Amino acid sequence: MIRNWETNRCISRRIKMIGVFSMLLVGGFSIFYVVESPTLRMIGGILLLVGFVVISLIPTCENGGDSQ
């Protein structure tokens, strides 16, 4: 995965899904169960959205990204 990023500057669809799922799981838990302030919840939601956009903008490897 690291070698593929260094050579091709792309990540596999599987890694993207793991990243999004991890952000939603941990970030969603924090927003809904830990943070009580509505302002901080909104900021947390915006940060999750920014993270999702960043992951979406990283190119996806055509070959799956697991080889090389």
* Residue 62 within a domain: no
pTM confidence score:
0.77
Domain for residue 9, yes or no? Answer: yes
Using 50, 70 and 90 to split pLDDT, how confident is the model at 66? low
Measured CA angle at 37 (ends 44, 49), to 5 deg: 15
Give residue-wise pLDDT tens across range 8-52.
Answer: 999 999 999 999 999 999 999 989 899 899 999 999 999 999 999
DSSP 42-55: HHHHHHHHHHHHHH
Q: Can you give the residue range of the structural domain that contains 16?
A: 2-57
In a domain, 51, yes or no: yes
68 falls within a domain: no
In the chain, the number of structural domains is: 1
CA angle at residue 10 from 5 to 11, to 5 degrees? 85
41 in a domain, yes or no?
yes
Is there a domain that residue 38 lies in?
yes
Is-contact 48 27, C-beta < 8 A?
yes
